Amino acid sequence: MTTNPFATPPDPHAVRNAVASALSEDRAYSDVTTQSTIPIEQQGHGQFIFKEAGVICGLGIAEETFAQLSSDLYFEALHRDGVFVEAETEVATITGPLAAMLSAERTALNFMQRMSGIATLTSQFVAEAARGGNARVVDTRKTTPGLRALERYAVRCGGGHNHRDNLQDGVLIKDNHITATSNRGMDIRSAIHSARDAVSHTLRIEVEVETSEQATAAISSGADIVLLDNMDQRTMKTIVEQAPSTIFEASGGVNLGTIQAIAATGVQLISVGALTHSAPALDVSLEIRPE
């Protein structure tokens, strides 16, 4: 299984904000159950256990979650993000005030389960793609609002790569842009030239196409990347072979059963929205022992 235990971590500011928002949403500072049943001085010890095999992700976010509730809590990671572990593996411990531990428990687990699920699914896609060729598996902007930085980090931990992070990162002329510009009498060539004139020379221009004719127009007009959307594999392979100097991305209809054949067409990139919008949460538990 392909993973990346050396993935660049998410921006600390994004982590702090995401954790603070999640704790506020859960009213962790007003946990009436814990406050009415657990003495403030009582201590405890907890173990994070992966109940199923998968790729670890979110240890640092879990640590930040506990730290925001209490500076007296001590979190120790026993592994690192991006590492595959078998079921029933202990991946971290937490020690300190039991009340704060209980109030932060669900939020910390939610982050770890979500992020580990994304990392695990990504690693599966990456492994299948490698069986067909050398294409990079990349994510999309189909992320949970407010959690993009964390979810894209999880993709990296799973061995995948990130597409543009936001609408400012690069030009991607999609089908609706083409429809809108054609309504004003512009073709794909005109749309590409308009974008080239308007943005910095450092930005790449990518065009989404749905037919061989559109692909030819995009290539001849100097598109840096051509996104082949929902095309059959034979058509994709033909287009790729005719323009060896162009970067091609495949999208649409990508799943674990098709990605190997898609990679075999020779495309350099395969974007998969499912990495972030459909990854099942991994089963992670926090087993707490009061002292």
pLDDT score, position 147:
97
229 catalytic per annotation? yes
Rounded to 5 degrees, what angle do the CA atoms 274, 14, 165 make?
45
Nearest of 232, 242, 216 to residue 264 by alpha carbon = 232
The active-site residue, picked from 63, 81, 229, 249, is 229
User: In terms of pLDDT, which residue wins out, 191 or 276?
Assistant: 276
- Kindly tell me if the per-residue pLDDT of 278 is higher than 80: yes
Residue 10 pairs in a beta bridge with: none
* Model confidence band, residue 275 (pLDDT cutoffs 50, 70, 90): very high
The active-site residue, picked from 106, 141, 164, 204, is 106
* Secondary-structure class of domain 12-124+279-290 per CATH: alpha beta
224 catalytic per annotation? no
204 catalytic per annotation? no
Instruction: For domain 128-277, give its CATH number from 3.40.50.2000, 3.40.50.12780, 3.40.109.10, 3.20.20.70.
Output: 3.20.20.70
- Kindly tell me if the per-residue pLDDT of 178 is higher than 90: no
The domains of the chain are located at 12-124+279-290, 128-277
Radius of gyration, CA atoms only, the chain: 23
Q: Structure pTM?
A: 0.95
pLDDT tens per residue, range 120-145: 999 999 999 999 999 999 999 999 99
The active-site residue, picked from 174, 189, 196, 204, is 174
The active-site residue, picked from 80, 142, 164, 204, is 142
126's CB contacts (< 8 A; 6+ apart) are 2, 137, 158, 159, 160
Alpha carbons 156 and 73: distance in angstroms, whole number: 28
pLDDT score, position 227:
98
175 catalytic per annotation? no
Find the mean pLDDT for residues 181-192.
85
pLDDT tens per residue, range 13-57: 999 999 999 999 999 999 999 999 999 999 999 999 999 999 999
CA distances from 71 to 44, 96, 103 (A): 15, 9, 14
128 catalytic per annotation? no
